[in-house]
Amino acid sequence: HRDPHNYSLWINSATSFVDTRTRNVGINSTKGLDLAAHYRQDIGKAGRLSFGLAGTYTKDFLLQPVPSGGEYDCAGLYGATCGAPLAKWRHVFTTSWAAPWAGLDVTLRWRHINSVDVDRSSSNIQLKSAFYQSVGHIAAYNWVDLSADIPIGSAAEFRLGVNNIADKNPPLVPTGTLSNCPNTTCNDNSWVGTYDTLGRYIYMHVGVKF
C-alpha cells in the first residue's frame, strides 16, 4: 500500500505499508537450550572466588525459504547458504578473584565455539554441493582473556586487560567458485562477526565518578 501523495512505502506507516499477514513466505524454526550458572566461594583471608558460565546449545536451526521448497538444518554448519558459523555449542566461562586488599578484582575469561562444517558437505539435497574439502571443517576455537580492576580512591577505577592472550588467529576459508566464504556475509576470508580477528588486544581504562 503506497502513500497516495508521495507513493512512499516507508515515510508514513499509517498510510504506506506492506501487508503480508496472509502470506506464508518461509519458515525459520530453532530448538536449543540457553544455560547460565553462577557460584561463589569464600577462601578465607585470600578473598573470594566467583565462577560464571553462559552457554548456548543449538539443537536445530531449520530454514525453509519458500513454502514449496525443502527445508534444511544449519546447526553446526556455515557457508554460502547457512551464512556465519552456527556452532551447536558455545560458551563463556569466567573465573574472578576478589582480593582481600585494595579492592583488586582479577578475572579470567574462557571463550569457546564448537567446531563447524561447511554447509555444502551436508547430505541434505538443499545444501549439498562441491566444496574445498581440505578446508571444509573449522575446528573448535578457544580464547582466553585476562583483566584486573582496582579502585583509585573513592571516585575512580583503573582497569587493565588483555583479550586473546595467546594471539590466536581466526580460521581462514577460501572464496571463489566453490566458496566457503561468500562475499555477502564473510569478509577477508574469515567470519569477522564470529571469530576474534584482532589478535592479542591490550587495553587500559580509567573511570571517574563525579
Q: Tell me, what amino acid is at 4?
A: P
CA distances from 92 to 73, 95, 165, 170, 196 (A): 25, 10, 15, 18, 14
Evaluate if pTM is beyond 0.85. Answer: no
Phi, psi (5° rounding) for residue 177? -60, -45
Q: pLDDT grade, residue 25 (50/70/90)?
A: low
pLDDT tens per residue, range 145-185: 999 999 988 889 999 999 999 999 999 887 765 667 777 67
Query: Sign of torsion, CA 41 43 45 46?
Result: negative
